[in-house]
Amino acid sequence: MGWPVEHSLSPRLHSYWLKQYGLDGSYEKLAVKPDDLLNELKTLKTKGFGGVNLTVPHKEAALGIVDYMDDLVKRVGAVNTIVVRPDGKLEGRNTDVYGFAENLRQGGYKSDQRAVAVLGAGGAARAIIVALQDMGVGKIHMINRTFEKAQELAQEFSTMEQSHFLPADEPAEEAIKHIHHVTPYKWGDKDALQNVSLLVNATSLGLKGQPPLEIDLGALPKDATVTDIVYAPLETELLKKAKARGHKTIDGLGMLLYQAQPAFEAFFGKKPEVTKELRAHIEASL
Ligand code: NDP
């Protein structure tokens, strides 16, 4: 379900797996206007649907509609997968977090003590922050055109830990340590790229039809990995530029493929494989 939904590659992806595993089922595109979301979700069971994936602009709105949601959904603040339970109740999940993390793992990225720089503070960035934190990344540099949004996310996703074992005469501020630190940076601030192990583009810049992402990579450490969640085109200008500077790069198509894996399993009861053949099948339609 999306508005618009015509561009979605998910039906192609799920239909490939349904055919591959000989499963009796289908995965349809549903163009749903924001005002119709509540009604469309509440009538899923009567229409014979076992679940649904949500795309723009429904991921946040669904939070207020689903009957159940897990902690991950609450942390991200977005639902991208809904499972319809036998009694018709709706269970909200978020598989974008897994999709992003698994794409990085398959691409060979390993986090270290250094920070990660994330460009963009929209819906996708929220799932990316949670994924990075769960991968053990302690410091995130959040860079966004609208600085206030970077500040908001930094506040929301920084978590602190109070030490209970400090001597009574220790100053109070010493007793608090950040376990997850998200620092907001202004768009174009080169300091944000210093001493990071990974740079993520989570803006829509570079997408077909959108302006290119113009960024000076000069401050980025030579051994840093660069990933883009934009996958159309597959090799974005950012990835081209990073490759030319000798950085390891990971494209964004994997995130789409891996987020679909747990969703397909939830809908159809079979954990599907992300193979080279599947990738080629989806690439052919980009
Ligand atoms: P949102 O609309 O929620 O966020 C867009 C972000 O891009 C904001 O941070 C916005 O900044 C920034 N941005 C937009 N235009 C410009 C510009 N001209 N200059 C600087 N920054 C800009 O979108 P999403 O977070 O949902 O998605 C972002 C991209 O990620 C999309 O292209 C989407 O297709 C892709 N995506 C890929 C996925 C995958 O599976 N690979 C999954 C989900 C998304 P500001 O706050 O200043 O407006």
pLDDT digits (tens, 9 = 90+) for 161-219: 666 655 556 556 656 667 889 999 999 999 999 999 999 999 999 999 999 999 999 99
DSSP state, residue 85? P
- The answer for residues whose C-beta is within 8 angstroms of residue 169's C-beta and 6 or more apart is none
| Ligand 1 center–CA 45 separation, angstroms | 32
Q: Is the CB of 204 under 6 A from ligand 1?
A: yes
CA distance 24 to 13: 15
Mean pLDDT of 138-163: 92
Q: Is the CB of 205 under 6 A from ligand 1?
A: yes
- 21-69, pLDDT tens digit by residue? 999 999 999 999 999 999 999 999 999 999 999 999 999 999 999 999 9
- 57-73, pLDDT tens digit by residue? 999 999 999 999 999 99
Residues annotated as part of the active site? 59
CA distance 8 to 4: 9
Q: What is the structure's pLDDT at 64?
A: 97
What rounded mean pLDDT belongs to the chain?
Answer: 94
Q: Is the CB of 203 under 6 A from ligand 1?
A: yes
Residue owning the nearest CA to atom 32 of ligand 1: 204
pLDDT above 90 covers a percentage of the chain that reads 92
- φ, ψ (nearest 5 deg) of residue 50: -95, -10
Q: What is the structure's pLDDT at 160?
A: 76
CA distance 55 to 99: 14
Q: Best of 203, 205, 227 to mutate for ligand 1, by most ligand atoms within 8 A of CB?
A: 203
Q: What is the structure's pLDDT at 170?
A: 59
Quote the Cα angle for 214-216-218, to 5°. 160
Nearest to residue 197, comparing CAs of 227, 223, 219, 158?
A: 223
Is pLDDT larger for residue 176 or for residue 237? 237
Residue owning the nearest CA to atom 9 of ligand 1: 120
Contact of 114 with 196, CB cutoff 8 Å: yes
Nearest to residue 19, comparing CAs of 235, 217, 270, 225?
A: 270
- By residue count, the chain amounts to 286
Lowest mean pLDDT among 173-187, 216-230, 238-252: 173-187
Q: Is 283 left (phi over 0), alpha (psi -120 to 50) or beta?
A: alpha
Residue owning the nearest CA to atom 38 of ligand 1: 229
Q: Is the CB of 231 under 6 A from ligand 1?
A: yes
Q: What is the structure's pLDDT at 163?
A: 60
CA distance 32 to 6: 11
Q: Is the CB of 83 under 6 A from ligand 1?
A: no
Q: Output the pTM of the full model.
A: 0.95
pLDDT surpasses 80 at 100:
yes
Q: What is the structure's pLDDT at 190?
A: 94
CA distance 203 to 21: 35
Contact of 272 with 261, CB cutoff 8 Å: yes
Residue owning the nearest CA to atom 29 of ligand 1: 204
Q: Is the CB of 9 under 6 A from ligand 1?
A: no
